[in-house]
Structure 1
Amino acid sequence: MKRGALDSFFKPTVPKKPKYETSEEKDEHPSYPFAIPHLSKSFMTQLNSAPAAEGKTMNSELDLDMVYYAPYIPSSVSNGMFEFLRQELFFQRVRYSIKRDGVSTEINTPRFTTVFGVDETSKFNTDGVLVDAKTTRKLEAGRYKCTPRPIPQCLGYLKALTEATTGETFNFCLVNYYADGQDSISYHSDDERFLGEKPAIASFTLGAKRDFLMKHKPIAPDLKGEVVPEPKQIKLALGSGDMVLMRGQTQAKWLHSVPKRAGDEAKKGRINITFRKAMVKGGTENYYQYNVGTGGVFKWSAREGKMVS
């Protein structure tokens, strides 16, 4: 064996160089377990060209109102954004209890999650202090059972671009990390009352391509008792940088899921970012309960190639 090969054999594995640039500026807040870097000027410059493709309106099916951008985030920066967010954000693997027919069941969320933001009744001032949205006075102790967290610059910049493109406004950012094809989310709809009527939700994919499935909720027979044909199911193979804007009756009438998948692509890991708008305090309590919970904090380890606590 050559000397060079022998040296490399005994050398410890060196983590791959991150595929992104970090800024020296960071967001710090008492609710953060550690500071979160800002996006670099290079990243922001590339993001400014979004959307990278014109949005495709999808409204031919009953009760469906969507716009699909493939992609929204330019390909030159989408993979770097994935690496940046996976490395720099903190996540939880949420556990919570639910009662069904009087029986308590422990739920282990099959993905890593994190959440930022607060509902329309409150806001963070320039000093990062939570205040009443109308009076701008500091909130009294106990207003929230949870501890709301301000949206960091790295996600707030993308939120502002999305708002400018869509004409919508958002106050919440939920981030899910799917470690591999075994991490998933079953059929559901984001139709909670605290989102108001006809909510708009912008959903981004970064990293691995994953199937996004949609199906209409069961339709009751019409007044004559005749069965109403159900719309066909929808399958989108969402790639890195793609964005789906769901609005109108979509959440009220449709279900969506990200099913388990096998294969090399799914093993790469996927980040899903959703921007939403919660109208009342109950939305804040809900999002922090089910996306933070009481579990420990996880952070990506490039050396181990996984989330570690």
Structure 2
Amino acid sequence: MAESSKKRTLDAFFKPPPKKVKISDSNEPPSENQEPQVEEQVSYSKHSTYPFSISNFPSSITKNLSSFPSTIGKVINDQPDLDLVYYQPYIPKYLERQTFEFLRSQLPFYRVRYTTVFGLDETSKFCSSSTQILDVKTSLPILKDKNYLKHPPRPLPQCLNALRLSTEAATGCTFNFCLVNYYSSGADSISYHSDDEKFLGKEPAIASFSLGAKRDFLMKHKPVALDDNKSPPIETKLIKLPLGSGDMILMKGRTQASK
């Protein structure tokens, strides 16, 4: 059965995804002295939880992974609770465009639809005599949502796992999860937030890659409660990092607890 007929990647909205990936180390056309490009057989990552088989990185990317990062990371720790390492870039310029186009065309993407806020929606109401949440129609207690138990972790396909292993080797940190967001235009964004969930552990390390158009990455310190017995908190400034394609920012230490 043909896999392409069931694919729902973003590039399906632009053009049919290519069946084969050409070997190329650059985005520039080959010169007369270069050998002609040859096509390689595409291999796939497969799993029952994938909506379709996901192509592995072509050899033109995998053989260059050992050269990542292409620059030395810049340490940024000039504000309270700030512990960053900024790679400009992490993925070399001759590969960032190919990596971006490959991931955009081969990974499955889903449009998020929010139906509840903290587990509540228009079908919920509070019981006046307790903190119990009731269903509006039946007035019966609403049990704690356990839907997450029905969705076991999905293993990383080879293309994302290769980036994970490269990032671990470069940073000395350990990563076990990858979230890929697609921002279709400059109007798409995500609000201020902290990746400080308890299951991530104390002082987690988050590596954030940017591919495609340059976008500003903003950070600010969380409000600090005033304490009469302590001196006023040190004033912090808004942090604005212009992430270019191939750049990576590593956030570690107390960054997630305070930003």
Instruction: Note whether the superposition's TM-score is higher than 0.5.
Output: yes
Secondary structure of the structure 1 residue equivalent to 2:225: coil
What are the equivalent positions in structure 2 for 1:206-217 lying under 5 Å apart?
Answer: 206-217=211-222
* Distance change (3 Å), C-alpha of 1:101 and 1:167: closer
Q: CA offset at residue 44 of structure 1? A: 1.2
Q: CA offset at residue 225 of structure 1? A: 6.3
* Distance change (3 Å), C-alpha of 1:224 and 1:248: same
Distance 1:102 1:151 in 2: 31
Q: CA offset at residue 101 of structure 1? A: 11
Match for residue 78 of structure 2?
A: 60
- Unaligned regions of 5+ residues in structure 1, if any? 1-13, 106-141, 255-309
TM-score, normalised to structure 1's length? 0.61
Match for residue 196 of structure 2?
A: 191
Q: Match for 1:204 among 209, 212, 216?
A: 209
* Distance change (3 Å), C-alpha of 1:16 and 1:144: closer
Match for residue 150 of structure 1?
A: 155
Match for residue 226 of structure 2?
A: 221
Higher relative contact order, chain-length normalized (CA < 8 Å, sep 6+) = 1
Distance 2:168 2:68 in 1: 12
User: Alignment RMSD, CA only?
Assistant: 2.6
AA of the residue aligned to 2:77? N
Asked if structure 2 preserves the Cα contact closer than 8 Å seen for 1:47 and 1:74, the reply is no
Does residue 46 of structure 1 match 2:51? no
Distance 2:41 2:81 in 1: 44
Match for residue 90 of structure 2?
A: 72
* Count of paired positions: 205
Distance 1:69 1:163 in 2: 14
Distance 1:49 1:26 in 2: 24
Deviation string 1:16-64 (CA, Å, 9 cap, x unpaired) is 997x647511011111111111111111122321111100011110000
What are the equivalent positions in structure 2 for 1:98-117 lying under 5 Å apart?
Answer: 98-99=116-117, 104=122
- Report the more deviating stretch, 93-102 or 145-154: 93-102
Q: CA offset at residue 233 of structure 1? A: 1.0
Distance 2:81 2:115 in 1: 33
AA of the residue aligned to 1:187? Y
TM-score, normalised to structure 2's length? 0.73
